Structure 1
């Protein structure tokens, strides 16, 4: 049995599900979802219930099978983390007993590949490398199924019949929540204009579809010199926006796991994705982020 803890917003939950699903497939084990983090301190809820997931909610009896996290050994913080993870992985391979595997750092943890037996996953797992081997399954299960409402169906048809470019603008809590100040890079209108023109390069008649939690800011600050539609009618239905994003032919994403998935779910060969090279602000500037980007994406 694989249990994965879901937490955070829509994009974070997708990363967690994807990692858990890939591990469950590799080990031929059932997947369980731990939803005990919801609602969280920011009022976020489990957001994937309308998707065709292949998992059930874990029971309290199943959770009791997993031992508590062991105390960290002495030494530097990084060394303690690595030794703790290595110890847990080795112990699981020896005994075959359940273990809790906590993500040791932001970049890809190769110890994930050596997990066996019953595993509880606790982390964010923000790298395609955790689920690349199961990408087709993950994409199918994290794509909102039809039918759509009439307005979204009409917009989807427009997107598919045009030289469409999706643009995601994340502001909201990044800008207005003081607890997040300095955690994420703030992307300027100039950055969006530059990235949008790069993404549209070579298109005969590009049409931009902009998705944002601050549509008024978009209308007041962004002009790409081509037709632009601000998609703002899916309030409270983020998966509907994500599906529309994935239908666009090219993508400009924000430093946001939500738009990461909007672009990644476009599984057509040769999809063009422009992503910010600077993902984090000064408080997280030392994080290694190379594993965050799929190999074919362009950073600017």
Structure 2
């Protein structure tokens, strides 16, 4: 897989952290990072607001998302022992992270292809904080 995907969810503050994490992934892994905003297509979802900034990461296409879902579903349907073996061989999988948790392995080459979480730990984007500050600067009135 030549790219990784970061899910965008919830309000604008969470979207900003998720975007900062995605930019950090791009910086550290030097591969394309795509944003998934499909959560906002649900009837109950909040307003997507990240577009008020000059974000420069592309959004995932339906075809790319279908491909990723197929790989993740294949992995998740296997018994635990098989999943453990597949992990060791780098089989593509997804991850879910809690709000302030920091997992350094996310920013290193890994088999994760889909990232869900809030990524609110500044350690994720400390090496590109000046770039993030410029991108996520409030727009003029």
> Match of 1:194?
none
> Match of 1:34?
36
SS of 2:72's equivalent?
coil
> Match of 1:129?
123
51, 54, 57: which is aligned to 1:55? 57
**Are 2:5 and 2:115, in contact at CA under 8 Å, matched by a contact in 1?**
yes
**Are 2:99 and 2:121, in contact at CA under 8 Å, matched by a contact in 1?**
no
131, 140, 143: which is aligned to 2:134? 140
**Are 2:35 and 2:60, in contact at CA under 8 Å, matched by a contact in 1?**
yes
Deviations 1:231-290 (A, max 9, x none): xxxxxxxxxxxxxxxxxxxxxxxxxxxxxxxxxxxxxxxxxxxxxxxxxxxxxxxxxxxx
Q: Work out which of the two has the higher radius of gyration on C-alpha atoms and give 1 or 2.
A: 1
Rounded to whole Å, the distance in 1 between the matches of 2:100 and 2:86 is 18
Normalised by the size of structure 1, how large is the TM-score? Answer: 0.39
SS of 2:49's equivalent?
coil
What is the aligned-residue RMSD (CA, Å)? 3.0
Rounded to whole Å, the distance in 2 between the matches of 1:40 and 1:60 is 15
Rounded to whole Å, the distance in 2 between the matches of 1:105 and 1:89 is 27
> Match of 1:68?
72
Question: How many residue pairs are counted as aligned between the two chains?
Answer: 133
SS of 2:17's equivalent?
helix
Rounded to whole Å, the distance in 2 between the matches of 1:63 and 1:88 is 25
73, 91, 102: which is aligned to 2:96? 102
Q: Which runs of 5+ in 1 are unaligned?
A: 75-83, 150-300
Rounded to whole Å, the distance in 2 between the matches of 1:19 and 1:140 is 15
Larger fraction in helix: 2
Deviations 1:41-96 (A, max 9, x none): 6541211112111111100111233222525849xxxxxxxxx8xx59954xx44x
> Match of 1:44?
46
Rounded to whole Å, the distance in 1 between the matches of 2:133 and 2:102 is 20
Rounded to whole Å, the distance in 2 between the matches of 1:23 and 1:88 is 25
Offset of residue 18 of structure 1: 0.8
SS of 1:116's equivalent?
coil
Q: Which runs of 5+ in 2 are unaligned?
A: none
**Are 2:33 and 2:58, in contact at CA under 8 Å, matched by a contact in 1?**
yes
**Are 1:65 and 1:98, in contact at CA under 8 Å, matched by a contact in 2?**
no
Rounded to whole Å, the distance in 2 between the matches of 1:12 and 1:89 is 31
